[in-house]
Amino acid sequence: MLVRDRMSAPPITVNAKTPIGEARAVMQHYDIRRLPVVTGGKLVGIVSWTDLMRAQPSVASTLNPWEVPVLLRRASVREIMTTDPLTIGPDAPIEAAALILRLQKIGGLPVVADGDVVGIITESDIFEAFLDLTGFRAGGVRVVVDLTDQQRALARIAEIAEASGANLTSLAAYPQQSRRLAVLRVASEQPQRFTEALGSAGFLVRHVAPVAGAVTGAGSGHPGARLNGGRAVAQGRGRPKGERG
């Protein structure tokens, strides 16, 4: 998966001379939190919602209420934007974008190709990609398997899934402390047959959880995932300590 597959394009941009009040109106209209700043077709900066809020006069300001709109019309985003922002290319892997956002503690990256801003990728786009890669919305059964010291582990798991009649819809392997784990998602009417086959093949099944995959409103209206309960199981080598994280 590449950045171009997940970026928002074409990007909504503003000019360096755009008044702060106008930039705020654009963000509110499109429900976005950052805007690349372009002059002469080239990227010169980026302005975020936080930048705009910091530019607002505080409640302790001596300005009269009628003076605030005038100030925001006169001041431009050039005065508050971040210049020379970090960028990424459209053909970069999406993991590279995620790593930059994480290390630099920022929320979005302008996507630049041949000097032109062709899109923007944000933390929300990364979250969406993560959900799709893990197959969460598709539901099914989530199985966590310990791959530590296993040879040809992924190939063998695929073979076991096919032999047991389980449709393996997604698979992701990751390190956790000194172990190496895999999160599998399978579509099967008899997942126990699959997990028992894994155990018979020497794999430690650490966790099994049916997942509805539906996202529904919860409590105060904030979206929450409605999940079925999971259970830790011990099959194969050793005794599980349960999945962390």
Q: pLDDT tens across 60-72, in order?
A: 344 455 455 555 5
- In 145-167, which positions are buried (b, 16+ CB within 10 angstroms) versus exposed (e)? bbbeebeebeebbeebbeebebe
With residue 72 as reference, give the H or E element that holds it.
Answer: helix 67-74
pLDDT per position as a tens digit, 140-181: 899 999 999 999 999 999 999 999 999 999 999 999 999 999
Provide the percentage of residues in the chain whose pLDDT is more than 70. 78
Q: Tell me how crowded residue 106 is: count the other CB atoms within 10 A of its CB.
A: 17
Beta bridge partners of 122: 108
**Cα–Cα dist 1/195, whole Å:** 29
For the entire predicted model, the pTM comes to 0.74
Distances (CA, A) of 208 to 61, 192, 244: 57, 9, 13
Whether 240 has a pLDDT exceeding 50, the answer reads no
Nearest to 120 by CA among 191, 187, 48: 48
pLDDT per position as a tens digit, 16-53: 999 998 999 999 999 999 999 999 889 999 999 999 88
Whether 208 has a pLDDT exceeding 80, the answer reads yes
**Cα–Cα dist 176/148, whole Å:** 10
What's the whole-number mean pLDDT along residues 177-202? 92
**Cα–Cα dist 32/37, whole Å:** 14
Ordered domains of the chain (ranges, CATH): 3-129 (3.10.580.10), 135-225 (3.30.70.260)
